Structure 1
Amino acid sequence: MTKKTTLLSLLSAFIMWLAWPPHTWFAPLLFIGLVPLLIALQQIVKTSDKKTGKKVFLTAGLTFLVWNTASIYWVFNSINAVNTGFIGTIISLLVSLIPYGLGALLMTFAFWMYYRLSTYTKNKWAGYTALIAFYISMEYLHQTWDLAFPWMTLGNGFAGMHQIVQWYEFTGVYGGSLWILLSNILAFEAYQQIKHQKQYRLAGIWPLTVLLPIGFSVYQYKNHKEKSVPVNVVTVQPNIDPYEKYESASAHEQLSILTKLSDSIAQTNTEYFIWPETAIPNYADEDRIRSNPDYLQAQQFLSKYKNGTLITGIESVRFYNDKKTLSAKENPNGGFYDNYNAAMQVENSASVAFYHKSKLVPGVEKMPFPKVFSFLAPVFSKLGGSVSGWGWQDEPGVFYAQSGIGVAPTICYESIWGDWVAGSVKQGAQFIAVITNDGWWGNTSGKDQHLMYAKLRAIETRRYVVRSANTGISGFINQRGDVVQQSKWWTRTALKADINLNDEITPYVNYGDLIAKFCVGFAAIAALFILIKKWLIK
């Protein structure tokens, strides 16, 4: 790496960070953010030597490591979330490196694979196609495996300027990733044409690549009409410090705060109350929930609202005679049990429904690859009681009220998974309830990014999003992705709004991440081509 290529690499990282949420108005810089990196890689390849591949890897790695670290620095704040002791702290530190190091490594690997392919083919556009496929495949891998953290998927970058990506209802965020990569490639090639050939053909094509999708999106944004099926909803932000949640107040006192805030703005026709993640902090036995005092207190509150339904976060547990699930842990008193970070639906009836958080934080909430690394269970048990980790469910869920309304319960950073939320919508959810506790991250950009990303789920599904954060930002997002109402940070409050239900299915909900899956197939073929070429050369 020369000084010039290092500076170009860092310039790319700076532009990408500047364009990333919550820096709303700089989002268009994503269309050129990777151009300096492409210039640097070209200079490395031109001065080819035995270490060219290593230089390509290090140069791309520097860009992505700096960009990732600068954009999601707040992940380190969550290390203090549990008192894990020395060993637990070390493991927590290693786990917190997953978003920075592992995410950056996958991005870097995509560019390195592109370099390897370009050494075997003279068709540069075939190489660029493979670059797009490799990169999106790496993003998709980081969404689907046990070390998942898809926070930095390129398409998320437009969350702060959602008006220009209304077509996510067709493509999801991977359409945005494709758009950004293609734009950067064309901008780089246009720069090369102007500099070396004094031609401007691509310089004329590149703006169209950017402007035509924007024009289509703005047209969609201005002409989208929501179906007028209003439901009055109250969302509550109790603002209980997560670091003191289990010591500062009893579960009864915390429930009293939630019910008073709810009562303060509720109407006689309020149909939904949304309370945040782990709002009921005591481990409640799901099989005996109707005799649980916290449940009875919540149902007593709800009895004042004839058509009311409550969706609340709860820590729950189930007991078994044998090991029924992969996550089940041995009970010292005999048998086995699962503990869940769950959502519970309560109505003015005996009906109770549970949803178990499924997209769990690697290491802290779930041991990655539990079948493979089960021998590490004693070490992971130091991470907040995580042996096999929290229990989970394998499919998205929907809460159905007596009224027939379907709701997608979404816990914490599950709202980053477009396909997961879309799965609930496909099953009949008419709006999305995000319950979270963003206080672990403090007053950082993490809470703002999390709110902004929920706007993309609204666009993909054309569903209202109701957000209840214990400490963070609560609010309402309409079907176009507009935040129509939101709370302030570190404020105890409740908000209400009439939201519109929707039961129509968007193409994205119907077909899912087709772009990513197609890229995985193309990337596999390209990787096989590299292996065959390498074998033939030997």
Structure 2
Amino acid sequence: MKNKLLFLSIISGLLLWIAWPPTHYTTFLLFVGLVPMLLLLEEIMESNSNRKGFLIFWMSFLGFFIWNTLSVYWVYNSIKTIGALVAVPISFIPYSLGPLLMSTACWLYYRLRKIAPLNWSLAGLVCFWIGYEYLHQSWDLAFPWMTLGNGFAISHQWIQWYEYTGVYGGTIWIWLVNILIFLIYQSLKKQSQKKHRQRLVAAVVLAIVLPLSLSLFMYFQYKEQEDPSNIVVVQPNIDPYEKVGTISTSDQINTLITLSKKVAQPNTEFIIWPETAIFDEKGIDEDQIRSSNYYLQVQRFLYPYKNANVLTGIESYKFYSHDPTPSSEQIPGYTMFVDRFDAAVNIENSAKVQFYHKSKLVPGVEQMPFGSALSFLKPVFAHLGGSTGSYGKQDEPTVFYSQSGIGAAPVICYESIYGEYVGKYVLKGAQFIAVITNDGWWENTSGKDQHLDYAKLRAIETRRWVCQSGNTGLSAFINQRGDVVQQTKWWTQTAIKQDINLNSDLTFYVKHGDYLAKAACLIALIIIIFLLVNKVIIKVK
């Protein structure tokens, strides 16, 4: 039995990995990747083992660990520079924490299955799973990269209805088809269930064909409203490991300016530079930026382009004489506090400067998870060379407005995988999305490809163009259907331009956010309370 369980667990993990972006032409495997896992759960449920809960948890963990680790192996590349002693435990977040939460959902299914019919238990499993996904995008250890609905990013033509459901609609779709196929397999054991099996086969066909047909219809019928704006995206190709100390900040900005001039037009509205494009080891004081040589350098470049804005990443800081933020630190010997930010800034042909501080910080690298409780560990990370806990943030997105009134969403790197959060920019008036990132930390791995693929989902959910500027790649323009219209190559110094269509309409998803996830979480919570009450009642009896 043990060998069979191991086989089912490993096969499930491998199928999900093969189906995952950026692999082409294998997306359909998402519809069967969870079937071996469901068979594993049922095999254990029907066994005589007195450790069913234990087996379900750890056997399912194995499969999910394989899927997660093979899909996001590149994470280690982005954090290894802070030292192995820090990087190894931080790697635990994407490699193991997600699978542990997935296994917990399976264990809760086991507890429900003991007292409820199969069909109801399977519905509960879907709610438990979505509950895990929503938790994993909401708490301090958030890493929603492996949300099941993200799996369709490479085949965006299939999920145009994400403008109504967001990625959680995709999660439900995957689970529904897998469950139906699992039930068909189960029915094969009983000859008396022939008619029932035929109905299940029909249900599987409909469950695949109807959403797919609706999406393809929406894809081919969708027409963008004409409201053009000329945008430039720059990819300077500066090695992130040589960015500090090797090349001066002024020289880096000159490179960006030179590339921008090659494609900028008199009517260019936004010139987008990548994350931390303006970077100084000492940092840049936001309150004094107008006197900064870097700011004046950008201003001189903009002079011929009267309507243009430079939207760029910047490492900045702010001083506080009172009311310090939780992330700020006191300056030794002074009553002043300082907060450092991975930020975006909008510079235009006027004295107006707009800042946005990255909100969705990477756990362990950009912020200390549960900072107030674990703040005593800050000196440890500082000693090891890490940056943990050093960045401040803001809770709500900020829309950058040009002099002509165009609203841009400055989305910094990791933030682009948060559908509901990106939707908040749109609610506040963003007419297109500017993703600024520095995916060079991941080197030439599938991480950069997945990141760009996920940006396609934000385009569909919001029906906004996405203009992505990556330091070393990938940079691209994505239209409102999720099509990549232009894309740069990895490790290439270049700039590209595009006339995009602005949009001010709001999709159903933008208006209502992750309503499916919140509903599933409520149902999951009710079931968990029911399980706890039932356990207490049994003990009393």
Per the normalisation by structure 1, the TM-score is 0.97
Identify the residue that residue 152 of structure 2 maps to in structure 1.
158
1:183 aligns with 2:177: yes
Identify the residue that residue 192 of structure 1 maps to in structure 2.
186
SS state of the match for residue 247, structure 1? Answer: coil
SS state of the match for residue 239, structure 1? Answer: coil
1:243 aligns with 2:241: yes
Identify the residue that residue 201 of structure 2 maps to in structure 1.
203
SS state of the match for residue 372, structure 2? Answer: coil
1:71 aligns with 2:71: yes
Inter-partner Cα distance in structure 1 for 2:267 and 2:99? 49
Matched to 1:119, the amino acid is: K
Cα contact 2:86–2:386 (8 A) shared by 1: no
Identify the residue that residue 113 of structure 1 maps to in structure 2.
108
Cα contact 1:367–1:380 (8 A) shared by 2: no
Residue 382 to residue 412, structure 1, CA distance change in 2 (3 Å):
farther
Task: Give the Å deviation of 1:48.
Answer: 3.1
Inter-partner Cα distance in structure 2 for 1:383 and 1:526? 44
Cα contact 1:346–1:353 (8 A) shared by 2: yes
For this pair of structures, how many residues does the alignment match? Answer: 532
Matched to 1:15, the amino acid is: L
State how 1:243-282 maps to structure 2 within 5 Å: 243-282=241-280
SS state of the match for residue 315, structure 1? Answer: strand
Task: Give the Å deviation of 1:383.
Answer: 6.0
Identify the residue that residue 393 of structure 1 maps to in structure 2.
394
Structure 1 unmatched runs, 5+ = none
Identify the residue that residue 469 of structure 2 maps to in structure 1.
468
State which drifts further: 197-206 or 443-452: 197-206
Cα contact 2:76–2:87 (8 A) shared by 1: no
1:513 aligns with 2:507: no
Identify the residue that residue 432 of structure 1 maps to in structure 2.
433
Task: Give the Å deviation of 1:106.
Answer: 0.6
Cα contact 2:357–2:392 (8 A) shared by 1: yes
Residue 465 to residue 491, structure 1, CA distance change in 2 (3 Å):
same
Residue 534 to residue 431, structure 1, CA distance change in 2 (3 Å):
same
State how 1:24-63 maps to structure 2 within 5 Å: 24-63=24-63
State how 1:217-366 maps to structure 2 within 5 Å: 217-282=215-280, 283-332=283-332, 334=334, 335-366=336-367
Cα contact 2:345–2:353 (8 A) shared by 1: yes
Cα contact 1:190–1:206 (8 A) shared by 2: no
Cα contact 1:81–1:440 (8 A) shared by 2: no
The equivalent position to 1:126 in structure 2, one of 80, 104, 120, is: 120
Cα contact 1:431–1:465 (8 A) shared by 2: yes
Cα contact 1:476–1:486 (8 A) shared by 2: yes
SS state of the match for residue 373, structure 2? Answer: coil
SS state of the match for residue 105, structure 2? Answer: helix
CA shift digits 1:505-537 (9 cap, x unpaired): 000000000000001100001101111111122
Cα contact 2:153–2:456 (8 A) shared by 1: yes
CA shift digits 1:143-170 (9 cap, x unpaired): 0000000000000000000001000000
Task: Give the Å deviation of 1:247.
Answer: 2.3
Structure 2 unmatched runs, 5+ = none
SS state of the match for residue 439, structure 1? Answer: helix
Residue 384 to residue 307, structure 1, CA distance change in 2 (3 Å):
farther
Inter-partner Cα distance in structure 2 for 1:389 and 1:174? 32
State how 1:384-463 maps to structure 2 within 5 Å: 384=385, 386=387, 388-463=389-464
Identity, % of aligned positions: 55
Identify the residue that residue 172 of structure 1 maps to in structure 2.
166
The equivalent position to 2:213 in structure 1, one of 188, 212, 215, is: 215
Inter-partner Cα distance in structure 2 for 1:337 and 1:496? 38
Matched to 1:79, the amino acid is: I
1:138 aligns with 2:126: no
Cα contact 2:364–2:388 (8 A) shared by 1: no
SS state of the match for residue 526, structure 1? Answer: helix
Per the normalisation by structure 2, the TM-score is 0.97
SS state of the match for residue 434, structure 1? Answer: strand
Identify the residue that residue 6 of structure 1 maps to in structure 2.
6
SS state of the match for residue 102, structure 2? Answer: helix
Identify the residue that residue 379 of structure 1 maps to in structure 2.
380
Cα contact 1:193–1:200 (8 A) shared by 2: no
CA shift digits 1:360-407 (9 cap, x unpaired): 111110001111112222123346563532010011111011111001
SS state of the match for residue 499, structure 2? Answer: strand
